């Protein structure tokens, strides 16, 4: 994979904030919908797990594997998950979502929350498909261009150049990606955006079919359930 997609990990205080903001009731509702489509979920992979909160609704008799490229982030996840669910079977691995250290067909469910747009999208989708069993599910949560347009508007209203410059650079990289089909940084910005239509096409090529839109998403950050053919 192009090393230009090596971006700094999020600060640990933001990871803690993600854990605190986690909505257990909504997560249980989402898990129930996923189980109706996917069936039994004994093997879960959270690709880009952060603090690990997205695995909580699936921690039962099975195994949850959290994958993140940041060792400090994995240390935080280990602490928080141990305190919350000391009885759960959890494995934490340092790896990239484009190269998951798991055998093909192992997972019943792969979770990817706000990771695709900072990854090599095609490689990440291929890896997601590879590690899923046929009929297994993938929860994909990603930033739509509306998210960056809002950042641009917020910066304009606040007369703050930082979010404006960041949003414009991401929008330019995303526009290039959607026009050419090739993911490459523009003005040094590796992050992109995704639309549902683009994701549907790329996922289908990787062996994944879109089957449902899940609660908890929005127009700015859709949350979709896909299934491995």
User: What radius of gyration, in Å, describes the C-alpha atoms of the chain?
Assistant: 17
Identify the domain containing residue 93 by its residue range. Answer: 3-144+194-228
Query: Are 131 and 161 in a shared domain?
Result: no
Q: Using the predicted structure, report yes or no on whether residue 134 has a pLDDT greater than 70.
A: yes
Query: Are 53 and 162 in a shared domain?
Result: no
Query: Are 107 and 208 in a shared domain?
Result: yes
What is the arithmetic mean of pLDDT over 3-21? 81
- Cα–Cα dist 108/225, whole Å: 13
Query: Are 43 and 79 in a shared domain?
Result: yes
Q: What is the pLDDT of residue 193?
A: 98
Q: What is the pLDDT of residue 8?
A: 74
Query: Are 91 and 138 in a shared domain?
Result: yes
Model confidence over 71-84: pLDDT tens digits? 999 999 999 999 99
Strands laid side by side in the 107-113 sheet? 89-94, 63-68, 43-47, 107-113, 132-141, 223-228, 208-213
Query: Are 39 and 116 in a shared domain?
Result: yes
Query: Are 112 and 206 in a shared domain?
Result: yes
Query: What percent of the chain has pLDDT above 90?
Result: 95
Find where tokens 């797990």 sit. Answer: 49
Beta bridge partners of 141: 113, 223
Q: What is the pLDDT of residue 7?
A: 63
SS3 track for 3-14 = HHHCCCCCCHHH
Residue 172 neighbours by CB under 8 Å, 6+ apart: 186, 187, 189
Confidence of residue 6 (pLDDT cuts 50, 70, 90): low
Model confidence over 81-118: pLDDT tens digits? 999 999 999 999 999 999 999 999 999 999 999 999 99
Number of other residues whose CB lies within 10 A of the CB of residue 128: 28
Q: What is the number of structural domains in the chain?
A: 2
Number of other residues whose CB lies within 10 A of the CB of residue 167: 22
Q: What is the pLDDT of residue 60?
A: 87
Q: Using the predicted structure, report yes or no on whether residue 1 has a pLDDT greater than 50.
A: no
Query: Are 116 and 160 in a shared domain?
Result: no
What is the arithmetic mean of pLDDT over 186-195? 96
- Cα–Cα dist 64/167, whole Å: 34
Higher pLDDT, 219 or 6: 219
Nearest alpha carbon to residue 106 among 64, 70, 57:
64
Model confidence over 46-69: pLDDT tens digits? 999 999 999 999 998 799 999 999
Q: Using the predicted structure, report yes or no on whether residue 155 has a pLDDT greater than 70.
A: yes
3-state secondary structure of 111: strand
What is the arithmetic mean of pLDDT over 119-132? 98
- CATH number of the structural domain spanning residue 75: 3.40.50.150
Backbone angles phi, psi at 74, to 5 degrees: -65, -35
Six-digit token pair at 123?
Answer: 């490689």
Q: Using the predicted structure, report yes or no on whether residue 4 has a pLDDT greater than 50.
A: no
What is the arithmetic mean of pLDDT over 182-191? 95
Nearest alpha carbon to residue 195 among 137, 155, 144:
144
Query: Are 42 and 104 in a shared domain?
Result: yes
Please state the separation of Cα 202 from the chain's center in Å. 15
107 neighbors 46 (Cβ within 8 angstroms):
no
Q: What is the pLDDT of residue 76?
A: 98
């Amino acid at each position: 994979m192009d090393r230009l997609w090596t971006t700094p990990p999020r600060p640990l205080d933001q990871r803690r904030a993600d854990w605190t903001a986690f909505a257990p009731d909504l997560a249980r509702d989402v898990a129930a919908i996923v189980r109706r489509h996917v069936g039994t979920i004994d093997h879960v992979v959270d690709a880009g797990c952060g603090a690990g909160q997205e695995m909580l609704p699936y921690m039962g008799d099975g195994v949850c594997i959290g994958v993140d490229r940041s060792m400090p982030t994995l240390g935080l996840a280990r602490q928080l998950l141990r305190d919350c669910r000391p009885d759960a079977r959890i494995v934490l691995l340092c790896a990239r979502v484009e190269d998951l250290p798991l055998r093909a067909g192992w997972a019943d469910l792969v979770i990817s929350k706000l990771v695709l747009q900072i990854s090599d999208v095609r490689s990440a989708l291929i890896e997601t498909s590879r590690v899923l069993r046929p009929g297994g599910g993938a929860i994909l949560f990603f930033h739509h261009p509306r998210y960056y347009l809002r950042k641009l508007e917020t910066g304009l209203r606040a007369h703050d150049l930082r979010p404006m410059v960041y949003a414009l650079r991401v929008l330019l990289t995303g526009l290039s990606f959607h026009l050419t089909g090739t993911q490459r940084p523009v003005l040094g910005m590796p992050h992109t955006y995704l639309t549902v239509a683009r994701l549907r096409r790329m996922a289908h090529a990787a062996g994944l079919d879109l089957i449902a839109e899940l609660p908890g998403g929005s127009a700015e950050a859709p949350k979709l359930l896909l299934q491995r053919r």
